[in-house]
Amino acid sequence: MREVKDITAMSVDERIAYAKANSPLTEEELQMIKEGSALTTDRADQMVENVIGVYFLPYSIAPGFVINGKEMIVPMVGEEPYVTKSTTSGARLAAANGGFTASTTGSFMIGQIQMLNIENPETARLKILEDKQRLIEAANKVDPVLVSFGGGCTDVEVRTIETMTGQMVIIHLIINVCDAMGAQAINAMVEAAAPIAEEITGGKTNLKVLSNYAIYRLARARVCIKKEDLGGEENVDKFVSAYAFAAADPFRAATNNKGVMNGMIPVVVATGNDTRAVESGVHSYAARNGRYSTITIWEKNNNGDLEGMIEVPMAVGTVGGTTKFHPAAQVSLKMMGITKADDLEKVIVSVGLAANLGVLYSLVTVGLHGDFESARK
Ligand code: MEV
């Protein structure tokens, strides 16, 4: 594995030259980022309502990420000092140990249909399942383009739930959104399928909208760091007890997970994706066992080395929406050589794990303040 360059001491122009030499980006694309000219007010006015201008944030690069054997520079857009530096040091530790191994479950999202006024909820549940093909067909009719790319509604699940206003039947459409984040397609599909559900059950539908608790769109990453690279087995034990603390205590879990999001969210922003969708998916998954807990796990293996991993919902896209419309988002994807949502999901979870690795290494050794002071020098 080749040595990853430390670019912290470089000037902005030297970093731009580094990015040009180590990514497919052109001089013009990099200059556009340097000048902050990617998003004009006219273009912004086509994105959201009531625009009067644009707002700028620092655009940094984290070099030396190795993910599934591929080396890349990762773009990070955010305001917090120290984050890019500590994420990069996590990435460097990982690269020296073979890098991150990442995988995904595929781009399957859930669209929910809430049904009210159902007299026999369990009978209704079975009737919907018996006739699920009709719902799938109605949903797929509204997005023939997605279907032509191999996506669309693939299955239907039904649950009955007890609520403070009575029992409800909740239908889930399972939708393969391919390379999109998918919100628009999902919302259109649940709306199209709802009348069929009413016909089948005689009930009334209320909310029809996607769920951000994207349990069928998980991304995972893991890394193994030799004890020697962490200053010995004693520090491996400290990592494991830091994990145990976060696993047992929601106060620590919230801060641990915030540190993970410090790595993930800047990549989500840099690629024009929806930060709130990612945050809500990750935090709801962190509470999946009934209590809020850590989304990263650190274990010691038989050699005394450190094994780290993360598994979270990751609903991001590489087509449609801001990703396509914001020129800087296009530059960010090109910098990493990414065209598929699946590959972007793998990068984002790896960056989250790198951020956690970098920060925990500081916390179990010199402490955060000491490291922060040296980062500012
Ligand atoms: C600060 O933005 C994030 C940390 O608090 C994360 C952590 O404590 O793991 C340093």
Distance between Cα 84 and ligand 1 center (Å):
13
Ligand 1: which residue has its CA nearest to atom 3?
259
Q: Does the C-beta of 167 come closer than 6 Å to ligand 1?
A: no
The side-by-side arrangement of strands in the sheet containing 108-116 is 152-163, 166-176, 108-116, 204-211
Residues 185 and 83 in one domain: no
SS (H, E, C) the chain: CCCCCCCCCCCHHHHHHHHHHHCCCCHHHHHHHHHCCCCCHHHHHCCCCCCCCCCCCCEEEEEEEEECCEEEEEEEECCCCCHHHHHHHHHHHHHCCCCEEEEECCCEEEEEEEEECCCCHHHHHHHHHHCHHHHHHHHHHCCHHHHHCCCEEEEEEEEEEEECCEEEEEEEEEEECCCCCCHHHHHHHHHHHHHHHHHHHCCEEEEEEEECCCCCCEEEEEEEECHHHHCCHHHHHHHHHHHHHHHHCHHHHHHHHHHHHHHHHHHHHHCCCCHHHHHHHHHHHHCCCCCCCCCEEEEECCCCCEEEEEEEECCCCCCCHHHHHCHHHHHHHHHHCCCCHHHHHHHHHHHHHHHHHHHHHHHHCCCHHHHHHHHHC
**Ligand 1 nearest atom to the CA of residue 252, by list position:** 8
Q: Does the C-beta of 258 come closer than 6 Å to ligand 1?
A: yes
Q: Does the C-beta of 359 come closer than 6 Å to ligand 1?
A: yes
Give 257: exposed, middle or buried? Use CB within 10 Å, 0-12, 13-18, 19+.
buried
> What domain range includes position 164?
108-211
CATH of the domain at 185: 3.30.70.420
Task: Name the one residue in this structure whose structure tokens are 């979870």.
Answer: 349
Residues 94 and 132 in one domain: no
Distance between Cα 319 and ligand 1 center (Å):
32
Domain boundary among 196, 211, 226: 211
Q: Are strands 218-225 and 101-104 parallel, antiparallel or unpaired?
A: antiparallel
Residues 264 and 370 in one domain: yes
Percent of the chain topping pLDDT 90: 93
Ligand 1: which residue has its CA nearest to atom 1?
259
Domain boundary among 148, 181, 211: 211
Q: Is the pLDDT of residue 376 over 50?
A: no
Number of structural domains found in the chain: 2
Q: Does the C-beta of 368 come closer than 6 Å to ligand 1?
A: yes
pTM of the model: 0.96
Distance between Cα 102 and ligand 1 center (Å):
23
Q: Give dist(CA 103, CA 110) in Å, integer.
A: 20
85, 89, 357, 368: which to mutate for ligand 1, most atoms within 8 A of CB? 368
Q: What is the pLDDT of residue 372?
A: 52
161-215 confidence digits (pLDDT tens): 999 999 999 999 999 999 999 999 999 999 999 999 999 999 999 999 999 999 9
Distance between Cα 74 and ligand 1 center (Å):
20
29-53 confidence digits (pLDDT tens): 999 999 999 999 999 999 999 999 9
Q: What is the pLDDT of residue 323?
A: 87
CATH of the domain at 293: 3.90.770.10
**Ligand 1 nearest atom to the CA of residue 262, by list position:** 2
258, 298, 361: which to mutate for ligand 1, most atoms within 8 A of CB? 258
Residues 327 and 229 in one domain: yes
Ligand 1: which residue has its CA nearest to atom 4?
259
Q: What is the pLDDT of residue 53?
A: 97
256, 261, 366, 372: which to mutate for ligand 1, most atoms within 8 A of CB? 256
Residues 74 and 148 in one domain: no
Per-position b or e across 207-235, b if 16+ CB within 10 A of its CB: ebebbbbbebbbbbbbbbbebebbeeeeb
Residues 97 and 112 in one domain: no
Residues 247 and 356 in one domain: yes
240-267 confidence digits (pLDDT tens): 999 999 999 999 999 999 999 999 999 9
Structure confidence at residue 371 as a pLDDT band (50, 70, 90): low
Q: What is the pLDDT of residue 321?
A: 84
265-295 confidence digits (pLDDT tens): 999 999 999 999 999 999 999 999 999 999 9
Distance between Cα 353 and ligand 1 center (Å):
13
Q: Does the C-beta of 89 come closer than 6 Å to ligand 1?
A: no
Q: What is the pLDDT of residue 366?
A: 86
Residues 150 and 71 in one domain: no
